Homo-oligomer: A and B are copies of this chain.
Amino acid sequence: MNFQNLSQESLSQIAQRLRDHGYRVTPQRMAIVEALFASSHPTAEEIHQQISRRFPMVSLATVYKTLRVLTELGIARDLKIGERNRFDGNTDPHAHLICIRCGQITDFPLSSQGVALAEEVEPQGFQMLWYDLEIYGICRQCQAKKGSSPTL
């Protein structure tokens, strides 16, 4: 939805964030950051393929290593959807609408509910830090089509 929002500005902010934490800013890393924001919830493999066009030398291992760094810094989130891990450049609190027919994953904003959740869980003595909400179902497009079969 808002992947194009990643301006030159935020790219350099991320570069600065890497430097601030003692990480070096390399062309590979920035290419991976760009690819992360350029597609919706990509797998490591998908990021690798997308980068390969312009940077054919980048290895899949580097993609994995960089995604781990980005996740540690809170720039990316690590999602467990379907069989393979996916990565999310959107760190605002939100849910994922996952279509079990076509596999499409859509962000769905949820800021106020996040507060509500924290309040409900507090009485248990549990201190909420973050949450993952995956909503499985059938998207509008797939409801229209008739004879499609599940992919997830």
Contacts and interface: CB of A to CB of B under 8 A. Distances in A.
A143 B121 CA distance: 14
A136 to B, nearest CB: 5
A135 interface: yes
A124 B97 contact: yes
Contacts of A129: 100, 136-138
Interface string A120-148: 01001111111111111111100100000
B80 A97 contact: no
A121 B138 CA distance: 11
B143 A138 contact: no
Contacts of A55: none
A96 to B, nearest CB: 10
Contacts of A127: 137-138, 143
A108 interface: yes
Given A126-B97, A138-B126, A108 B121 contact: yes
28 contacts: A80-B80, A97-B121, A97-B124, A97-B126, A99-B126, A100-B129, A106-B126, A108-B121, A108-B124, A117-B135, A121-B137, A124-B140, A125-B139, A125-B140, A126-B135, A126-B137, A126-B140, A127-B137, A127-B138, A128-B137, A129-B136, A129-B137, A129-B138, A130-B136, A131-B135, A132-B133, A132-B134, A132-B136
Interface of A: 80-81, 97, 99-100, 106, 108, 117, 121, 124-140, 143
